Each structure stands twice: as C-alpha cells, then as structure tokens.
Amino acid sequence: MLLWVGLGNPEPQMARQRHNIGFMALDVIAATHRFSPWRPRFKGLVAEGTIGGEKVMGLKPLTYMNDSGTSVQAAAAFFKLPPEAITAFHDELDLVPGKVRVKRGGGAAGHNGLRSMDRHLGTPDYWRVRLGIGHPGDKARVTGHVLGDFAKVDRDWLVAVLDAVADAAPLLAGGKPEDFMTRVALLTQETK
C-alpha cells in the first residue's frame, strides 16, 4: 500500500490558499480515480482507491500544516509503512507556478509541513511531489504569499497542473517518477 499525503490547512477559509495546493492535488486525484469518500481517521481525512494497480490511501492531515507529521506518523505506523511508501504533495516556493518536480528525501527548505513529517517519521527519506507556486521575490513577503489565495489569473495553470498530476498518477504509483514528471510537463505545456 502507498500513503499519499496532501499538505495543507483545514479551515474552510484557507481552502484556496497557495499553501493548500497539496490538499487540492489529493482532492483531484481522489475524484479522478474514484476513491472512496473522505472520512475521518488518523487526525485527518482519508480516502482509498487503486491507481495503476496499486492500493493508495490518500491522507489530508487536519492537524494544520505545522503539525502534519502527527497524522502522517499515525497512519504510517498503523499500516507499518516504510518511508519509501509515503509521498507528500506540497507547495514549493522554489519552483515557478505550475512546475512539478518529484524527489526522494532532502531537507525541508523551510516548509513547516515537511519539517513536521521529518520529525515525526524520524527520517526525511519519503517521496515529495513539489508543486510550484513561485516565490514572491522578497523573503519578507513569503508568509503572505503562501497564505494568500490563488489569484484569478492563476486558475488556468492551476486547474491544468492538478488535472495533469491526477492523469499521470499511475506512473507515480508505479514507481516511475521521471515518467510522471514528463507526462505532467507534456499535459501542462499548452497552458503556459
């Protein structure tokens, strides 16, 4: 089984914030691949489905971004999952809007959700799907940027990238991160 974690904040007024693109990605993946309805479990919401022949549990921690690891650790421990079975979908300042990169392990780069996961899992050696939201250009504006809602002008690329991630999800589930990134890039190149 694979555990795919969308990072975000649970308040309804935060739903359209850039920081919640991980939640958004999991919602589109779950809808596209006809997962079970979301239900409360592991201090979060879970939905289950099959992607590319692999059983996948989607998890949206409701513990707020800064304590996401509590929910992830509870699910990982219950299912006895190794770090390589866990993938976090999260916002990435260091990528231009709409760019998607996958990597395994690495530092948290100031991302509090990843920092919490590292602390609770005891390792940074899980997969990350980095969803580009762009950098505001000034370090002092970062908090306002990530906690700000996506603008109307972002709608086209945002919908395109979320749909592409869901479409290419079987490649990710099948352990083909390079092919996944290539497919997402091909599907989104027309909206850039």
CB neighbours (10 Å) of residue 176?
16
CB 103 within 8 A of CB 90: no
Burial class, 10, CB count within 10 angstroms (exposed 0-12 / middle 13-18 / buried 19+)? middle
Selecting among 19, 90, 120, 145, the annotated active-site residue is: 19
Is 19 one of the catalytic residues? yes
* CA-closest candidate to residue 43, choices 66, 62, 27, 69: 62
Beta strands in the chain (DSSP E): 2-6, 39-41, 44-51, 54-61, 86-92, 100-104, 127-132
Distance CA 139, CA 145 (A): 10
- Active-site residue set: 19
